[in-house]
Structure 1
Amino acid sequence: MVSFGDPWPEFNDGIYYRDLLRPSDDGATLIEFYSRKYQSSAPLHGWLQRIHNKQITVNGGVVTDPNTILRGGAELVYHRLPWKEPDAPHLVEILYEDDDVIALNKPSGLQVLPGGLFQQRTVLTQLQRHAGGCQEPHPVPVHRLGRGTSGILLCAKTKLAKSRLAAFFADGTSVVGVCRENDQQQKSTRNITKLYRALASGIIIEDEVVIDQPIGLVKYPGVANGLYVASPSGKPAWSKVVVLERNMLNNSTLVQVEIQSGRPHQIRIHLSFIGHPLIGDPLYSTGGQPKCSDHELVDQSFAEDGGYERPEKPVPGDCGYHLHAHRVLFTHPVSNEIIEITAPLPSILRRTVDVID
């Protein structure tokens, strides 16, 4: 298979955040504006540090007085200084490509889109570089995989492909191009089917388990928008788990999981909900809830720029679990052909006896 990806530089380029002051903020001081609007980015003393460090301009001029009065219409720019991002793989395999779609085999540990400490070390950055700067628009992912999840990532190369694939994912995922004639109530077909491999803790007794536990958000330290967990008041979610192999010696179960919905961290949450969290998952425990952790994992790259230190408790982007997007069937967004793509399995997710699916 063809791979691409440039090695990561030691430091990224930093980021510039621009704001146009609204009339409602007229008369606020510089420190009031940033500490109020971006309180999830840094504490008060962190924003004072950034101001004194000449990282903020107002209408193009550096301002170091935190009590500077702001007037409506002013342009504010905060420069987040370059930092050394955590280690991440840089090579990405191409599994399928045509004029409209490119399917990648994302390695575990590589983030899909910029966020948090990972602003440059992402799949999106490598796609932009791969396009050579001459293709507009450049290919973009149309869905996400968790940073610790490996396997098939679909990306669109045109606006039409992007809009249609995004609509397919929004519709959910199920069997492609097959009508279930034996069902009393015929089910509508979907345009995407996603099959994952995962290594769950414990021995799952049933050969097949369907999980329809809703998934919702709760407040959680270090996650600004909240953490997704099993919640009766959450949004509907559906996963079908099929046991492939039970390992009594290691007290683990190798499973295939088909998801019809695509809630964030759905497979991790659903398997933990039934009492079988993924082996090595640092975040989710039995019941689809976060673990209580006393481990201190502090990354000073947050604190150096005045921001919050890395949360002490595990967060969704932490790796360690074994989850792989193994097979995808989808309706091509332009030709309407049924395309099937398979990503090679990591050795730990292969069956002891090689059985052809």
Structure 2
Amino acid sequence: MTNENILNYTIQENDKTVKSILRENLKFSKRLSKSLELSNNIYLNGNTTKLNKSVFRGDILSIKFEEEEESFEAVNMQINILYEDTDLLIVNKPPYMVVHPTKSHQNDTIANGVAYYFKQKGIHRKVRLVNRLDMNTSGIVIIAKNPYAHNELANQMKSNVVDKYYYAIVKGAVEKDEDIINEPIARLKPDDIIRVVNPSGKECITHYQVENRLIDGTNTLVKLKLETGRTHQIRVHMKYIGHPILGDTLYGQESSLIERQALHCYEMKFQQPITKELINIRCPLPNDMTKLLSDEKFVR
């Protein structure tokens, strides 16, 4: 078994049972805990054990995840790896690439490339995407290598404790140097792609600060932090305040300066799901946005 198939947890307290550690500390469901016990995939200090076994500080509890077959087609393509450990793979998604297969993109996605990478490295795991980006948004995509890491990071995302930072070039001169947009976003019809600010929507909070502006006031570079993580949140909120993202054809209009929405996920901060270490990932701006920002007409 590879390291990606084993979860090792060091017991920090005395007089608890394997069951209580799995349920209370690791947040395993009752069903999963029982399934692991029945398949003899729970180990204490290297030996198989049962849920009612007592554990003590310093013991090593190990959970073995069965090897899996990936359902995504493995396709040899270049993936830009930003970070990797036994639980996570973090990549830089280029613009114009879909994160996972769809009807129109079945084998040219991030998931296809990661499936190939896993296969080459002998990692017998499914590709578990923790976050997703729109096709024309670039930046950080996190993949979990085991179900526990995926569940833990998904919970961090839902609890809004993951710090997510973006850069966007928006239309017009943003007046305030910084502000918070706290407006609910909704999809008015079930089959609508477009979202709008609407009182019926879910809470959405976006922080932004101006990095620099064009001298002629046509565009502004803003740095954004998401306090919540809704679909199209940044794109909807920036349109709402009158500054749609440059090149965003869904919420604004196409641009001669860039062929997509000028939006990039450049930084994420979160807890490593097993070690609880703070992970801080940064991802450089892609060439199309860098080219725009190198224009001497941008000023602070």
TM-score by length of 2: 0.66
Please report how far the alpha carbon of residue 115 of structure 1 lies from its aligned counterpart in structure 2 after TM superposition: 2.2
Please report how far the alpha carbon of residue 158 of structure 1 lies from its aligned counterpart in structure 2 after TM superposition: 1.2
Cα distance, 1:232–1:256 mapped onto 2, change above 3 Å: same
CA contact (8 A) 1:94 1:103 kept: yes
2: CA distance, partners of 1:250 / 1:132? 50
CA contact (8 A) 2:239 2:251 kept: yes
Q: Does 1:258 align with 2:225?
A: yes
Alignment of 1:90-169 (within 5 A): 90-132=77-119, 134-169=122-157
Q: How many residues align?
A: 213
CA contact (8 A) 2:194 2:250 kept: no
Partner of 2:173: 203
2: CA distance, partners of 1:142 / 1:349? 30
Partner of 2:17: none
Cα distance, 1:91–1:249 mapped onto 2, change above 3 Å: farther
The percent of aligned pairs where both chains have the same amino acid is: 33
CA contact (8 A) 1:244 1:351 kept: no
1: CA distance, partners of 2:295 / 2:176? 20
CA contact (8 A) 2:173 2:217 kept: no
Structure 2 counterpart of 1:157, one-letter code: K
Partner of 2:214: 247
Q: Does 1:344 align with 2:290?
A: no
Alignment of 1:32-43 (within 5 A): none
Cα distance, 1:277–1:142 mapped onto 2, change above 3 Å: same
Q: Does 1:282 align with 2:249?
A: yes
Cα distance, 1:348–1:256 mapped onto 2, change above 3 Å: farther
Alignment gaps of 5+ in structure 1: 1-89, 173-189, 286-290, 294-318
Partner of 1:332: 272
Q: Does 1:170 align with 2:158?
A: yes
1: CA distance, partners of 2:154 / 2:107? 24
2: CA distance, partners of 1:267 / 1:351? 23
Select the structure that is richer in helix. 2
CA contact (8 A) 1:141 1:153 kept: yes
Cα distance, 1:259–1:246 mapped onto 2, change above 3 Å: same
Partner of 1:268: 235
CA contact (8 A) 1:280 1:322 kept: yes
CA contact (8 A) 2:167 2:222 kept: yes
CA RMSD of aligned residues (A): 2.3
2: CA distance, partners of 1:207 / 1:225? 33
2: CA distance, partners of 1:121 / 1:214? 34
Please report how far the alpha carbon of residue 128 of structure 1 lies from its aligned counterpart in structure 2 after TM superposition: 0.8
